[in-house]
Each structure stands twice: as structure tokens, then as C-alpha cells.
Chains A and B, each alone.
Chain A
Amino acid sequence: MDIVLGLRIKGGVLVATSKAATRGISVIKVGDDKTRELNPNTLMAYTGEAGDTVQFAEYIMANTRLYGIRHDIELSPSAVASFTRNQLAKALRSRKPYQVNVLIAGFDPKTEKPTLNLIDYLASNVELPYAAHGYAAYYTMSLLDRHWKEGMTQEEGVVLMRMCIKELQTRLPVDFKGVYVKVVDKDGIRDVSALVYPDEYPEAEVTEELEVQQGEIAA
């Protein structure tokens, strides 16, 4: 029931991931970040089998960063997506495949183009203008089909993202504890959750908000 959602905007990609970490029927964490920065201009968001997800994401992250250090040039987002697909495809026909679905959001500084790749655990890789994994796709694709436009600004993208999250909040049977929203563009990767939840983040830092929420659960 995790949410992983991404949409391409003008000169960047927006990615939203749900904050709840669940085991069975219990929510065990409310500030879970389901993303990893693969390199300065590529972000991976993931869902799937607990354990496999972080293990796989960090394996890909370590290797893409190692490539950057060894060759003194970063892999392009499409190259990272191909590498990720290849690793998943190899795992698929092994004794125990990784059950991980990912989105790879990136901005290629060379071509100056933002890209969003959807890769499922079967290792099917497709480049898309907007994408979601799991149940979130059933509720958000119709909204995105209707409202997404080529060359949307970040502000328009945030508004659309807010519509998607609102729909998920009303239709999903469980509370996913909100989402983190990140943007990948020419300036790198930034957290823009405050733009999507203007009421909940008056001027506060994102980290403070987290502490409050976690404190409430503990109490």
C-alpha cells in the first residue's frame, strides 16, 4: 500500500513517496523516506518486499556513486536506469529475485532533459511523463491523464501532485501518513514537501515536523 508517484515537469521531475512504514497491519514508522540519491542528479524511489528494497536501492546507489568517483563523470539518469534494469533482470532468474519496484527520476545535465523511468520487479523499464507503482497508480493515472501537460512549471506540478495526494487520501483504506515530495532538476535534488503541504509546514523545517509526528505516535 506504499505510494510511489512521479511526474515530469519543465526542467525537472517531481517524486512523491508515502511516509508510513508498515509491517502487516501495523504502522511502525511515520517518517520513512523511500528514496535514495543515486548521484547528484538521479533519485530512486522504491517499494516492494521489506528488506529487499533498501538493500537493492543502496546497492545501486553505491555502484552509481562508485562509477562517478572512478571515472570522474556521473552516469546519466538513463544509464542508471539501464544499469538498474540489468541488475533486476539478472536477479529475476536467480534463486531469489529482488521484489522491488522503482522509479528513477533524473535530470541529465548534458542534454538538459528531465527523465522519469518506471522499472518493476520483472525488470521492465519504460520512460514515461508520469508514473506510479501499486495501488496508487489505479487512483492517480486518470487524474494525471487529464491534467498533466508537457512543459508544466514546478508550481503547476505541485498543484497536480497535491490533487493526486488528496485523491489517495480519500480513496485508500489506510492512512499513509502523508508524503515526502522531492524535485530533481538542474540544481540537484531538493525536498519540496513544504510546497505540497503549505498548511502543515508554516515556516518550520521538515525535520522538526517529523520529530513532532514521531513523538505523537510514541505518546
Chain B
Amino acid sequence: MSNPQEINGGSCVAMVGKDCVAIACDLRMGSQGLGVSNDFEKVFNYGDNVYLGLTGLATDVQTLHEVFREKTNLYKMAEERQIEPETFANLVSSTLYEKRFGPYFVGPIVAGINSKTEKPFICGFDLIGCIDFAKDFIVSGTASDMLYGMCESLWQPDLEPEDLFNTCSQALMCAMDRDPLGGWGAIVWIITKDKVVKKLLKTRQD
């Protein structure tokens, strides 16, 4: 209860492949030990090619999702185009740092493909918006320690979309098995430059 980031539970992971990225989250929303919902998605998309995973305090996940929906919609109207992942990452960073001394208790990760350069992009943040750029994978949430271990051993460079899906799913599912605050199903997004696939993993229900 003392740590707001661990009240509701939940994890996210993003990975880079060959001309593709994957981002996945679990579906649990709990109140400490008690599971409340098994339908709580933590990955949101803003435009065609930008995805944001939000773990941490559920109320801040919902608040920030609403904030970013508003900001990206205003961006779209002002610029007459969709926001790019790199730009969105900076938007997330500055939005979080605005609340430097009363932060949102979240661990965001961004995944997407730049529509101009067609380069995959992933990055993570701490709760006050410090960006962590990565070439391989980014993890976040209550199973982040386990996810680091799984990703470190399963991930390899230049995976094709199908292989990336398997790698990402296995990493998340195995990490969730050791996390009492996560699990209860998972969602995996596979993003390539002209196709996005969303998959539901049933996973263990304990």
C-alpha cells in the first residue's frame, strides 16, 4: 500500500525486430492482493503508428491516457498529420516532468514505427519523464525484474514479426508467472509499417 506503483499491479514490455516492433501488456487490475478486473488494457494507440504502454497506479494510467488522447488530437489538428513516435516520446517526457513535485505514479513505454524513415522506435520513462532510449527492449511494471531476465535471455536482433510475437509473448508470460500482481491474460501488438496485429493471450488464470 505504501508504494503507489504496486497497488494495482501490471506489466508492459516492448521489443524491436526487423522492420517491426512489438508491445505487450497483461490485463490484470487489482487492489493489492485482490484481483478486480481481467479486462484492463494498458497499451493505447495514438494515431496509426504510435503505441503507449502505461503501468503503475490505475487511476494515473486512465488520467494519462485521457491527457495524451487530447494532446495527440490537438496535435493532429494543428499539424494536419499524425504524431511520430519520437515526437510523442518527447511529449510524454514533458507532460510527466510538468508534475515533477507531485508525479503520476506510472511507468510508460512507447513503441512505434516512424512513418517517414520506417525505422522502429521504442523507449521507456521513469515517473518524472526521464527517457530511456533502447535498441533492443524496454520493460515496465510489477514484473519488470523478471521481464529483464526473460528479455535478456530470449531477445535477439532482427527477429521477423512472427518470431518477435513469440519472443515477446513468452517473455511476458514467463515473467508474469512469478508476479502475483500481474497476469490474468495479455494483449500483444505486432506493428509493421503497413500492418498492425492485436492478439489476445489467454495465459494462466492464477
Contacts and interface: CB of A to CB of B under 8 A. Distances in A.
B61 to A, nearest CB: 8
A124 B34 contact: no
A142 to B, nearest CB: 11
Interface string A136-151: 0110010000000000
B36 interface: yes
Interface string A145-189: 000000000000000000000000000000000000000000000
Interface stretch (A22-30, A69-77, A85-93): A85-93
Contacts of B63: 89, 123
B37 interface: yes
Contact of B59 (A124, A137, A138): A124
Contact of B36 (A85, A123, A126): A126
Contacts of B37: 126, 128
A126 B35 CA distance: 12
B59 A89 contact: yes
B71 to A, nearest CB: 17
B29 A120 contact: no
Contact of A123 (B29, B31, B34, B59): B59
Given A126-B29, A126-B36, 11 more contacts: A85-B59, A120-B31, A122-B58, A123-B59, A123-B63, A124-B8, A124-B62, A126-B39, A127-B39, A131-B36, A137-B31
Interface of A: 85, 89, 92-93, 118, 120, 122-128, 131, 137-138, 141
